Each structure stands twice: as C-alpha cells, then as structure tokens.
Structure 1
Amino acid sequence: MNHTVDRPSVDPAAQGCASHLRACLTRADAHAAEADVALLVRRDDAALADAVAWDTLQRGAVSAPLAGRVLTVKACFDSAGWITHAGSRVLAGAAPAGTDAPLLAALRRLGAVLIAQTNMTEFAYGALGVNSHFGTPTTPLDTRGERVAGGSSSGAAVAVALGIADISLGSDTSGSARIPAAFCGVAGFKPSRGRYPDAGMRYLSTTFDVPGILATSAAACRQVDGALTGRVESPHAAASLRDLCFIVPERFASDGVDGEVCRAFDDWVCRLSALGARIVCKPLACLAEAGAVARAGGIIAAEAFILHRATLEAGRELYDPRVGPRIAAGAQVLAHDYVAALARLQTLAAQYHAELGEAHAVLTPTVPMLPPTIRELDNEDAYLATNARSFRLTEFANRLDLPSISLPGDLHKRRPVGLLMTGRRGDDARLLDAAARIEACLSMT
C-alpha cells in the first residue's frame, strides 16, 4: 500500500509566499478526489491575497516566523465566515463564526495563510476518520484509496500529506491528531493542556481535549510551537543522541501490536540505541490503567452528553449512528464513578512522572495496526472494536495530561506507521527538541 506523495520541503518565505501557495493549490487540484473529501471549504482567492500581502510586508522588512506557511483548520474551530459544524449535519444550519478562534488568529498573525476547513469524525468522537455525512478521507499512502486516514483530525492529516498545507490545526482527545498523522505519514503533536488557547474550539471532552498541530515533520511542529509560545529555538546536534534517555514500556508497547508495526518499532529502537540513545525497558502499569480508568468512569461520554443534551433532544436522528448513541449513553454515567475516575487519574499522573524520572520520553508505536479499509468498518461491532484498539497507545497522554508527538515512522519507505514519543507534563519544549533530534538522526541512517 506504499505510495509516494509529492510533498517538497521548501521555505515559503524564500520561495515567495504567493508562489508557494500556488504550488499547494496545484497539488490540491492534482489530487482532487482526495482533496474534495479532506477539504470541506476553501478560500483560494482570499488565501492568495493574504500570501501576496505577506510577500509585500517581507519586502518592507516585516518578518513573521510562519510567513507563507499554508494552513488548514479542523471544522471544530471557529473560523470567521465558516460554520463550526464539527463534521456534523446537526449544526449545518448554525450561524457562521464571527471571529477566528484565538489559536487560529495567532497562527495567522504569525504569517500562516489559511486555505481551507478540514473534514473530521463527527464531533471528534472516533479515531478512524469515518464520517457518514461529509465522507471518509483516505490515507494518501494507500494507492487504492481504500484505507482510512485516521481521526478525528482526518482531513488535517491528508492536507499535509498531500502537500496542500504545511500546517494543519487539529484537536486531540484520545489521539485525534497523532493517529491520523501516523496513518498518513506526517507528524502530529498533542501539547500539555493550556499550552495553546482553546477558546473557540468545540469540545468533545472538556477534560481531555486540547488543540493539536499536524505538520510535515517534528521539526516543523517544533517551529510552530516556538512561534506560538515565543520560544527561541536552540540549535540541536543531529550527529548524536548520546545525552537522550527513553523508556520503552514492557508489554504495553508490544501486546496486541501487528507484526509490521512491531517490526518497525523494534527497528527504530535499535537504530536509536546504535546512535547513542539510552533505552530503558521497564513496565509502566499506569499507562494501560489510565485508559481503563477513564472508560470505567465514563468521562468522555458524560462530558459529551452534557454538551449535546439539548441537540440530542431536538434532533437525535441527525447524528451519525456511530456517534449519537455513544454520546446519549453518557446520561447513564454515575456521578460517583466519574468523580472517582478523575481522582484516580491524578494519582496515576503522579505515578507516571515519578517512574519517568530523568528520561526524555516514553517510546511506543503510535497505532498498533495499519489503517483498516473503509469496508472493514461497515459492520458496527467491527467499527467499535477497531476504533477502541486504534487509540490504545495514544490515550494515556490525554488521560494524564502529557505532551506527545507522533513522528513519521519511515521517511524512506513511506509506511503508515508512527513512532510515538510522550513526555512530561508542561515540558513540551524538551519533548519537541528531542523529537527533532531523533528525526534528523533517523533521516540520515
């Protein structure tokens, strides 16, 4: 299923913002069938005007760290003039947003040029990108166009993978930015809560949702993060990883992982060790328990139901049949189970940080399997089982509030697998620095 996508690495500021945008639009037209499902609304002419304006400003010595980077925004973020429908016909008749969400506005002030709103799983309640109303995006790494792109930030990942966008603004509840990044061969970053503003983002879970960044590489995610936080990027040596230490959680990183994914992960770990990184293998029982605790406490379902109670009463039939009933089930969550689960997650987070010690990150595959085909998900039971399996390795970062990034797993073979690095709460910059170094080193071997 390997497929090479023309996605050249360029500096839009050096190439010219307008020229770079035109190249992105050309790629969108060249991949029209995929782009039409991934991109729900486009603003080609307005984006070109923005790009020309940035070219003019730069000639006047006004610079911006993201000048000319082409940007898309997931349909759960407010974007002035567009309906924030979150991939659902439930909100199709809502009024368009009057202003951009603060995070989107910040990216545009920093020079990013908004080109489109991207598709997603309805209300972000699903990790495979399946959407019965707007269509299901497929990974560009599958030449047959049969395998899902992952979700819920499905269109975001496809836009970057096709070279239509340099940056995609997504969200992450259980892996929603990192899973599609792995399935599409790009990078996906989930920050610690509060690192980026989340106003103007339509939540699925008020406890677990955070904005996410998808980009061509870990280095690009690092650049976007630096621009947003005002952090000056420090140079990193790509020749050695000798000062880095990583934990591979025994059993958690391998149980239930498909053979091809497991082999790719073992190869990455061996290469990192050969490059000088210290690899420590030990059990981290808190990782699997974090996911189990959240499910037992019904945290996502309860919070989603609170947010959707009125719309469910007004038009339950408008919901995707894979989404509406799961949200409605939140009405049955018991308050004491919910509260106990939140308290237990706090304890597990403390345990995780104690066991992490001075290590830079925990390493696992991003997703335990290759992307399934759309046809394989037609059966509801198969869909629910595959969906739950898909976020087994990513969800603990959301449950314990940890920064986490999926690196493109194989830069040469272009396989839909990812290397997941998960760090310490609030230490996002250290994680991104380590990810960029690993990416640079692996690309040379």
Structure 2
Amino acid sequence: MLPLPDLVRALDSGELSPTEHLDDVLARLDADRTGSVIVPDRERARARAAELTVLALRGERIGPLHGVTVGIKDLVDVAGLPTRCGSRLLDDAPPARADAPVVAMLRAAGAVVVGKLHTHEFAYGPAGDVAATGPARNPHDLGRITGGSSSGSAAAVAAGHLPLTVGTDTGASVRTPAALCGVAGWKPRRGTLPGGGVFPLAESFDTVGLLAADAASLALARAALAGAVLTGPGPAAAQPYRIGVATGHWWRPHDPAITDAVRTVAGTLAGLGADVSEQDTPGVDELAATYPVITGAEAFATHREWFARRRDEYQPATVERLAPHADVPAHAYVDAQRTRRRLAAALTGHLGCDVLLCPTTRLRATPIGAGTVPTPDGEIAVRPALLETTSPFNLLDLPVVALPVPVPGLPAGVQLVGVTVGDDVLLDLAGAVERALR
C-alpha cells in the first residue's frame, strides 16, 4: 500500500483511479489473516468509487481525499452498518441510521469507506485480543497481539490493507496498537475530531484519532479534514522547540529495544537542532492512579443495566474489568476527578519543555492471551505495561503523535506529546524524524 501522500498524488494525477485503488484494497481485505476486518461494505464502496472515478475523468474532485479508502473502528457509527463494539451483546444491533460526524467528514473529503474494523470489546482493554470475533492478530507475528483497543485499525494499516483508518483513544487505544503494529497514530485533544456517533467507554477521556503508515500520512489526513490546502513536507529543522525526554521509573521500558528507540529519536531531534534535555514528571504515578477509577466508574455507568441482566454475554476479561466497579462509592469517583484536576494542573505547570518524548509502551507485542510475560525485569503484567505510559496524556488532555521507530525484530514506538505546541508542530516534528531516520 502506498503511503497516503503518494496515493493521493497517484489518484490526483490519474495514474490510479478510485475504482482501481478500491479493487486492490478489497483483494487485500479478502486475503486478510489478521482478523482486522469485521463488516466489509463492498458494494456501497464499489458504487462510491465508481462515482468518484467518473468525476476524476472529468477533472473534478470532491475533496483532498478523493478516492482514498478508509476503514472505521467498530465503535464508530457508519450509516447502513451495525455498530457491534466487538461484543455478543450487540449481535442484533440494527444498521446505524447516520454516519458519525468524523465519518461524514471523511466522506466529504472524498474518502471511500470500505467497512468496520476490529475493536477490543467495548474498547475496554489495551491488548486487542478480547472480542466476540476472536483476537486481532499482529501482521508482524500472527501469534501476537496488535494492541488495543483500535486493534483492527492498526493491523489493517500495518498489513498494507488500508492507507488510513479511524480509531478511538481513551487511555491508549490509538497509540498502543500503533506502537505494537509499527504504524503512526494521532491522538489529538478531545473534540478536535468530533466524538458524536461513537459508543462511549469513559466520556472524560474518549478521543477520536487516526492511524496511518507514517506521520506524513497523518499530517495530510489532518489537513484534509481541517479543510486546509495540502502542501509538501514541513521544514526538517527543529530548532525552535525544547524537547524534554521523560525520566524516572515511570517511563522505563521493560524491553531494551524500546529504550533504544527513545534514545534514537532524542538523538535525531538533537541532530535536527532541537534543544533536547531530560524532563522529570513529579506526581505522574499518582495522577495515573486516577485513570482506572474514573474510567471504571464511567464504563460501569454505561453498562450497568446490561451487566445486571446479560453479564454472561460479555467476554470474561470484560467482566473482570467491569465487576469491581459495581460497588465503588460515588465519592471515590469524585475524589479521583478532583485529584486528577489538581495533579494535572501541577504537572503541566512543572513541565519546562514544548514537547515531551517518551516510550509509547513498556513492552512490544506479546503472545495472544498472555497475562504476564518474562522480561529482564522479571515477570511483568501485560495490561499495565501497554497502558501506563499513554494514559497520563488523556488525563492531561494533551495532543500526541505515536511514531514507529526502526528496531530489530518486533516494532517499537515513541510518543511526541504537545505541551506548549499543537498537532501541526507535533506532526511536522514526527515527519522530520521519519525523514532523518530513513
């Protein structure tokens, strides 16, 4: 699959028609071995691509993504398709009556929606191996997890099936699968991409994001959805920005390859002219401890009635996540929210950098179903290692670009977090790093 900028150029020049691109994508999806495709929408996609091909022959384009295929996480409504959220509870879900706003934006930009993609059940997990349809499988090793909960969105890009996918991120769900599958993920601030038409996990943190092969593709997609005029890559220099490399035990990976990835990106940014130094993050562990309390309370509130009547229809791992919150008093939730606000303000005020650099996860892709894995640090629980270095930035509501970094073996990734800068700067910096590492 061509990276998105190259694909757009090919479609724009007429070298490739929307129908030819779609036919290639459908053939790839039909041969999928990752379990990433849940509900294909072949006939409507073919009709849409045919319309766009006719327009292209007339020299007309609907928008900057004219003819580009996209896949949508099965937590997000697509008109005419059911939203099943990876769960048996929604086996009989009716087709959605309308597109979620982010899907409508993609269509307005000229994209062709090809179907729904795998999600960890109700998005409540960072592994991607818990769903009614079975686990999603990592294209780099089909016996390993993709990460979650935007499991199919990452796997479909990593496998070369699709150039762009929609995911959601409550505490990890775009960035962790991006890291484990070796693709790029963008988690903007909440509301940057509209969150309507998305089944909630925790309303305090739920965020719509995008996944693509690289940061250049994400930058193009962001510009397209913002209605901006698309241009070439931004400047490679990073001189104006202070890069803080997160230090302390909280940010220490259990896999030396991830440590190497952070070091590589820090050195690359320094070579591009950025001011790179260490950055401590006091109180981050206490801040992160509020995440499961808040998320668990909000998730249980959504599922309370179903959980009382249809508990056996949930996957066992989801029951395990929801059950402890049934009897948690309301004051625990309120206390956690107050603590979050206090510590988030203190930490943001303490940070003396424009961009924070840290690992995306503490582990690379683990075997499907493994609750713990051996590491140089001993036996480590998988779920926290996939969540704890990402969730602080949902608690802080900061924009993040998750960037894959070349390492031997399974993929590894880092996060570039916008402390004083926004998505455009983060994506430019990530793109500069990508070009320098090639």
Residue 406 of structure 1 aligns with which residue? 402
Match of 2:309 among 309, 314, 324: 314
Would you say the 8 A contact 1:39–1:117 is kept in 2? yes
Output the CA distance in 2 between the equivalents of 1:413 and 1:249: 23
Output the CA distance in 2 between the equivalents of 1:201 and 1:92: 17
Output the CA distance in 1 between the equivalents of 2:59 and 2:284: 49
Alpha-carbon shift at residue 256 of structure 1 (Å): 4.2
Matched, 1:276 2:279: no
Larger deviation, residues 189-198 vs 340-349: 340-349
Would you say the 8 A contact 2:405–2:411 is kept in 1? yes
Residue 162 of structure 2 aligns with which residue? 165
Alignment of 1:21-420 (within 5 A): 21-29=22-30, 31-34=31-34, 37-63=35-61, 64-142=63-141, 145-232=142-229, 237-252=234-249, 254-295=251-292, 298-357=293-352, 359-377=353-371, 385-410=381-406, 415-420=410-415
Output the CA distance in 2 between the equivalents of 1:273 and 1:110: 37
Runs of 5+ in structure 1 lacking a partner? 1-5
Larger deviation, residues 328-337 vs 189-198: 328-337
Cα 1:234–1:54, aligned 2, differ >3 Å: closer, same or farther? closer
Alpha-carbon shift at residue 286 of structure 1 (Å): 3.9
Alpha-carbon shift at residue 236 of structure 1 (Å): 5.0
Alpha-carbon shift at residue 391 of structure 1 (Å): 1.0
Amino acid at match of 2:33: A
Would you say the 8 A contact 2:354–2:421 is kept in 1? no
Corresponding residue SS for 2:38 = strand
Alpha-carbon shift at residue 338 of structure 1 (Å): 1.2
TM-score by length of 2: 0.91
Alpha-carbon shift at residue 383 of structure 1 (Å): 12
Output the CA distance in 2 between the equivalents of 1:47 and 1:425: 41
Output the CA distance in 2 between the equivalents of 1:50 and 1:201: 23
Corresponding residue SS for 1:73 = strand
Cα 1:384–1:252, aligned 2, differ >3 Å: closer, same or farther? closer
Larger deviation, residues 123-132 vs 229-238: 229-238
Residue 3 of structure 1 aligns with which residue? none
Amino acid at match of 1:387: R
Residue 19 of structure 1 aligns with which residue? 20
Cα 1:293–1:264, aligned 2, differ >3 Å: closer, same or farther? same
Alpha-carbon shift at residue 238 of structure 1 (Å): 4.4
Alpha-carbon shift at residue 313 of structure 1 (Å): 1.7
Alpha-carbon shift at residue 378 of structure 1 (Å): 9.0
Corresponding residue SS for 1:280 = strand
Cα 1:239–1:424, aligned 2, differ >3 Å: closer, same or farther? closer
RMSD across aligned C-alpha pairs, in angstroms?
2.4
Corresponding residue SS for 2:316 = coil
Alpha-carbon shift at residue 132 of structure 1 (Å): 4.6
Would you say the 8 A contact 1:13–1:68 is kept in 2? no
Amino acid at match of 1:260: A
Cα 1:328–1:393, aligned 2, differ >3 Å: closer, same or farther? same
Amino acid at match of 1:67: H
Would you say the 8 A contact 1:178–1:189 is kept in 2? yes
Q: Deviations over 1:391-438 (max 9, x none)?
A: 11111111111111111212x867411121111388233322322232
Would you say the 8 A contact 2:290–2:336 is kept in 1? yes
Output the CA distance in 2 between the equivalents of 1:349 and 1:225: 27
Output the CA distance in 2 between the equivalents of 1:26 and 1:132: 25
Would you say the 8 A contact 1:215–1:221 is kept in 2? yes
Q: Deviations over 1:371-403 (max 9, x none)?
A: 100153499xx9993112211111111111111
Residue 418 of structure 2 aligns with which residue? 423
Output the CA distance in 2 between the equivalents of 1:362 and 1:125: 26
Alpha-carbon shift at residue 354 of structure 1 (Å): 2.3
Output the CA distance in 1 between the equivalents of 2:354 and 2:82: 40
Larger deviation, residues 125-134 vs 195-204: 125-134
Cα 1:307–1:156, aligned 2, differ >3 Å: closer, same or farther? same
Corresponding residue SS for 1:138 = coil
Alpha-carbon shift at residue 107 of structure 1 (Å): 0.7
Output the CA distance in 2 between the equivalents of 1:244 and 1:41: 43
Would you say the 8 A contact 1:138–1:146 is kept in 2? yes
Output the CA distance in 1 between the equivalents of 2:232 and 2:313: 51
State the number of aligned residues. 427
Q: Deviations over 1:187-217 (max 9, x none)?
A: 1111101111111100110111111111111
Q: Deviations over 1:72-124 (max 9, x none)?
A: 01111111122211100011112221111111111111111111201111000
Output the CA distance in 1 between the equivalents of 2:170 and 2:335: 20
Output the CA distance in 1 between the equivalents of 2:124 and 2:420: 24
Alpha-carbon shift at residue 321 of structure 1 (Å): 0.7
Residue 433 of structure 1 aligns with which residue? 428
Amino acid at match of 1:219: A
Would you say the 8 A contact 1:360–1:434 is kept in 2? no
Would you say the 8 A contact 1:240–1:441 is kept in 2? no
Corresponding residue SS for 2:80 = coil
Corresponding residue SS for 1:32 = coil
Alpha-carbon shift at residue 345 of structure 1 (Å): 1.8
Corresponding residue SS for 2:317 = coil
Amino acid at match of 1:33: R
TM-score by length of 1: 0.89
Cα 1:125–1:52, aligned 2, differ >3 Å: closer, same or farther? same
